Structure 1
Amino acid sequence: MTTQPLAVIVDGYSTGNFLPAAFAKAGVSVLHVRSSAEPMASMLAPNLAEYVDELVCAGPEDVGTTVAALAELKPVAVLAGQEPGVPLADLLSERLGLASNGSALSTARRDKYEMIEALRAKGIRCADQLRTTSPAEAVAWARERGEYPVVVKPLSSASSDGVSVCRDEAEVERAAQEVLGTVDIFDHRNTEVLVQSYLDGTEYIVDTVSANGEHYLCGVWQYDKTTTATGKRIYDRDVLLDSGEHPVPELMAYLETVLAALGIEHGPAHAEVMMTAQGPALVEIGARLNGNMTPGFHDVCLPANQADLIVLAYTDPQKFVATYGNRRYDRVQPAVVHNTSTDQDGVVTGVDQEAVDAIAALPGVHLVSVKLGPGKRIRPTTDLLSSPLRIFLTAPDAADLAAAYDAIQELKDRVYLT
């Protein structure tokens, strides 16, 4: 099939689309494995033209055949391209004797209840929680705790899908009912719901890449949130911190305990950590790329992007460890990722390219991601999924980013015609 070394990417959706090009730069071809019978329609699909082939491994009955087919190809690595592919990538890499986080803790790396319980078993600071199939049981748990707010969310979704902060019993019941019976962004039906104690504090993204149990901290971003007219707290800006800034060292020290508890020794991790009055506490973690990772953007504001680091970790782990092992990034220049909000509600009839170009021309704007096209529904923003624009900003002077942000607020609602 190919004379180049071969890597296997399981479910290369969303930012997993950056991995084939990163492997190609290293002279490595890629093969795609899909973990579902049908492609997942809710995420940006992998570009199969960048892969030498695709195999489908949609259930336990397919694993043996897939392992045998891959063994003949002698891949150098098997890794997940996106969240749903984590368990299968763990299993295939383990069966093939490659660098692997192993299958023993795969569930804890995907199921948010098991994730937090794995931390609790190691004495690591984390939320109180309940997993249930019953809205009434969720209400009873919250009532017995007697402390609001609480958080209600799906067990295995992402991008703030289905997450609600609830301040009374009625809100808990309504949020649990909304989660149960719906389908998450990975096309999985939510048959259970997770209720957790509210972690009060400032939330951070903490991104790492690992090889042979040595971790490189490749970026920490502080979430700035805003409040909608309905009182919903939504993500607004991700602000890149310098690695020496408070509380980056404490966040990384905490995350190292989380990585150990969840058995993440190889490849990427994208964590969200709340800095509470008691110290850091995990919101959740995925053994995959940051959903905001864009190589060209990160190459400007950071020493290296997560996709290239992943490739190095899997193809030359000795070099990765020598260069990056147990080290932290140094920010090259200030950067912000802005997820815009809107009150627009309707069907998009067109995109005003002049408005897009005006945003793109602002000093400090690196990239404007227009998420909707004609025929798509635009609705008032309640979460990351309903944010209509993602704008990447970076410049040597943080004042330019602040000025661009203010200008964007005047332009953003001109982009979509309804």
Structure 2
Amino acid sequence: MTTSAPVLAVVDPYGPGALIAPALREHGWSCIAVTTSDRPPGPMAHTWQPEDFDHHVGYTGDIAELGRRLAGLGAVGVVAGIETGSELTDALCARHFPEYANSPALSASRRDKALTQRVLARAGLASLRQVHTPVFSDVEQWLQDNALADAPWVIVKPARSAGTDAVRRVQPGDRLRTAFEAMAGRRNALGDVEHAVLVQECVQGTEYSVDTFSVDGVHEICGVTRYTKRSSGSVVGIYDSVEFVAPDDPACRELLPYARAVLDALGVRFGPMHAEIMLRPEGPVLIELNPRLAGGQMAFLSGLATGRSQLDRLVDFVRGRYRDASGYRLLQHVTSVFVTAHQSGVIRNPDSLSGLADLPTAVRSTVAVPPGGRVRMTSDVFSVLGRVVLADRDPERVELDRRRIKRIERDLRIDRVGAPTVGAPQNRNHR
């Protein structure tokens, strides 16, 4: 039965995709949740809000039947909520919603990190040297062929996961074999089994994200952020902070042309994309592309920093009110600071975290300590204790508060009492 309100379908509406339906409801739209599995991925389970949707359709593998059901419910478009929904979204849009479609031939390449790099290499763009294989002897041969056998580090990661899940920095040799064997056959954070393991060269530089929104192949830059990350042993990519940079920052002169070329090479025609790019002395290289809205509260952060987010642009497009791609400007300095646990155990001084929301430039804090103070060591974006958002027109005031937070984090007293089974509970603001 068709509803009288205009209708949008969201495939796997979890994580940042959970924000789409509430935003459209505010403008009188109805939304359909399309799910590709019986339950959301574990780290995203807290973001599943079925009450935000007027209909819920489970995908059973028959795309023609799914298309008929969506047409019967009056859907005028389909978007992906998180990565797991991107390929089904591409297939549906190619058949039924061309205004929302990206190149179907390159759908897997926008989802799979190994395929992404192969497409960039074929297009003559900077890319990472890599091998994606279920057989470790292939890795040994790749190391020899690329003169990496004596490299200090290589990166081992799942090709189809998210949120720095299981990304490891290891030395070639026995440790690499151990990391490879631990990942082969593993079910990643998004629920996919990693039958093959992705090993890539480890590149050095400053990491940025470039968030875009595309219409008819024209890519608007919605915001650029600079990442500060740290490594702990084999664990790489532990977020420390994310800082918005102005479009006239010198780094953008290299980042933005490269980011647009990456989107063109990967067949991006429509929608939000989140590109993570390492700026090396010799130039930028893509680390990975995420075919979805940027996560980690980025819609909220972008609103603070620039006045308009990817989500705002998506809502405007769906409602027929999308403005010309004018880019962004920095209205104030915004930094999101991650609070992490340096080891697993019990926090003995949890009260030290209670005043984070009261810092002079703090706008929001989602830092949460579980009952009893029991935490696991932070190893990825899913296991942080939370984040504190800082915003001010004066960058020095923001930096002062960032340092205060990091000092409090360093002074956390965590006693080893065995590893807990789960990390800190996620706040709904993480959607």
Q: Decide whether the 8 Å contact of 1:139 with 1:172 is kept in 2.
A: no
CA distance in 2, matches of 1:307, 1:376: 35
The equivalent residue for 2:80 is 80
Give the alignment of 1:128-207 within 5 angstroms: 128-147=129-148, 148=151, 149-207=153-211
CA distance in 2, matches of 1:229, 1:112: 23
Cα deviation, residue 102, structure 1:
4.0
The equivalent residue for 2:425 is none
Q: Cα gap change, 1:232/1:305 in structure 2, threshold over 3 Å: closer, same or farther?
A: closer
Q: Cα gap change, 1:357/1:374 in structure 2, threshold over 3 Å: closer, same or farther?
A: closer
The equivalent residue for 2:23 is 22
Structure 2: give runs of 5+ residues left out of the alignment: 418-431
Give the alignment of 1:5-404 within 5 angstroms: 5-43=6-44, 44-58=46-60, 60=61, 62-98=62-98, 99-147=100-148, 148=151, 149-228=153-232, 234-316=238-320, 319-320=321-322, 323-325=323-325, 327-346=326-345, 355-370=352-367, 373-374=370-371, 378-404=375-401
Q: Which amino acid aligns with 1:240?
A: F
Q: Decide whether the 8 Å contact of 1:42 with 1:187 is kept in 2.
A: no
CA distance in 1, matches of 2:213, 2:138: 39
Q: Decide whether the 8 Å contact of 1:118 with 1:261 is kept in 2.
A: yes
Q: Which moved more, 1:182-191 or 1:374-383?
A: 374-383
Q: Decide whether the 8 Å contact of 1:205 with 1:221 is kept in 2.
A: yes
Calculate percent identity across the aligned residue pairs: 29
Cα deviation, residue 351, structure 1:
10
Per-residue CA deviations over 1:173-216 (Å, capped at 9, x if unaligned) read 12212211211111111111111122221110110011111111
Cα deviation, residue 229, structure 1:
7.1
Query: Equivalent residue of 1:27, what SS?
Result: coil
CA distance in 2, matches of 1:347, 1:92: 48
CA distance in 1, matches of 2:369, 2:265: 39
Q: Decide whether the 8 Å contact of 2:345 with 2:414 is kept in 1.
A: no
Query: Equivalent residue of 1:165, what SS?
Result: strand
CA distance in 2, matches of 1:310, 1:266: 10
Cα deviation, residue 384, structure 1:
2.3
Q: Cα gap change, 1:395/1:272 in structure 2, threshold over 3 Å: closer, same or farther?
A: same
CA distance in 2, matches of 1:376, 1:265: 47
Q: Decide whether the 8 Å contact of 1:9 with 1:81 is kept in 2.
A: yes
Per-residue CA deviations over 1:284-308 (Å, capped at 9, x if unaligned) read 0011011123434322211202211
CA distance in 1, matches of 2:324, 2:371: 44
Q: Which amino acid aligns with 2:212?
A: T
Per-residue CA deviations over 1:260-304 (Å, capped at 9, x if unaligned) read 111111110001011122211111001101112343432221120
Q: Which amino acid aligns with 1:45?
A: T
Q: Decide whether the 8 Å contact of 1:208 with 1:217 is kept in 2.
A: yes
Q: Which amino acid aligns with 1:368?
A: S
User: RMSD between aligned alpha carbons?
Assistant: 2.4
CA distance in 1, matches of 2:239, 2:300: 23
Aligned residues: 409
CA distance in 2, matches of 1:112, 1:4: 38
Per-residue CA deviations over 1:31-57 (Å, capped at 9, x if unaligned) read 100011333223133211011011000
Cα deviation, residue 107, structure 1:
0.5
CA distance in 1, matches of 2:292, 2:392: 27
Q: Which amino acid aligns with 1:137?
A: D
CA distance in 2, matches of 1:295, 1:415: 33
The equivalent residue for 2:403 is 406
Q: Which moved more, 1:84-93 or 1:67-76?
A: 67-76
Q: Cα gap change, 1:107/1:229 in structure 2, threshold over 3 Å: closer, same or farther?
A: closer
Query: Equivalent residue of 2:195, what SS?
Result: coil
CA distance in 1, matches of 2:317, 2:408: 41
CA distance in 1, matches of 2:143, 2:372: 41
The equivalent residue for 2:427 is none
Cα deviation, residue 77, structure 1:
1.5
Per-residue CA deviations over 1:50-104 (Å, capped at 9, x if unaligned) read 110110004x3x3222111111223222000111110011111222134211422
Per-residue CA deviations over 1:240-275 (Å, capped at 9, x if unaligned) read 100110111321110111111111111100010111
Q: Which moved more, 1:276-285 or 1:219-228?
A: 219-228
Q: Cα gap change, 1:273/1:34 in structure 2, threshold over 3 Å: closer, same or farther?
A: same
4+ aligned runs moved over 6 Å, structure 1: 415-418
CA distance in 1, matches of 2:94, 2:234: 48
Q: Which moved more, 1:80-89 or 1:133-142?
A: 133-142
Cα deviation, residue 344, structure 1:
3.9
Q: Decide whether the 8 Å contact of 1:12 with 1:82 is kept in 2.
A: yes
TM-score normalised according to structure 2 size: 0.88
Query: Equivalent residue of 2:106, what SS?
Result: coil
Q: Decide whether the 8 Å contact of 2:168 with 2:234 is kept in 1.
A: no
Q: Cα gap change, 1:32/1:371 in structure 2, threshold over 3 Å: closer, same or farther?
A: farther
TM-score normalised according to structure 1 size: 0.91
Q: Which amino acid aligns with 2:142?
A: W
Q: Which moved more, 1:126-135 or 1:231-240?
A: 231-240
Structure 1: give runs of 5+ residues left out of the alignment: none
The equivalent residue for 2:428 is none
Q: Which amino acid aligns with 2:97?
A: G
Q: Decide whether the 8 Å contact of 1:31 with 1:53 is kept in 2.
A: yes
CA distance in 1, matches of 2:136, 2:372: 35
